[in-house]
Amino acid sequence: SGIEVVWTNTPTKWDNSFLEILYGYEWELTKSPAGAWQYTAKDGAGAGTIPDPFGGPGRSPTMLATDLSLRVDPIYERITRHTP
């Protein structure tokens, strides 16, 4: 598929960091190294904070359109913004 996304800085831990990252950054549409469309934190925000699954240097926060729908859709936004 060409999608290359690690959603949180603690990908093996169950917590709400996905939502913190989703709402903590503004997003811009970019292409993955393989050419798939995905969103990256604007202006390099959060660069290096997401671990690389292959042990390389840290990555920038990245999301998919389906992830951002949780923020921009008024019904989902009302639910997902209500975090502890």
CATH topology (fold) of 17-80: Peroxidase; domain 2 (1.10.420)
pLDDT in tens, 21-44: 999 999 999 999 899 999 999 999
pLDDT in tens, 54-76: 888 999 999 999 999 999 999 99
pLDDT given at position 3:
82
pLDDT given at position 69:
97
On whether the CB atoms of residues 83 and 24 are closer than 8 A, the answer is no
How far is the C-alpha of 59 from the C-alpha of 48, rounded, in Å? 5
How far is the C-alpha of 43 from the C-alpha of 55, rounded, in Å? 24
Please indicate, yes or no, whether the overall pTM of this predicted structure exceeds 0.85: yes
Q: In this structure, which amino acid lies at residue 53?
A: P
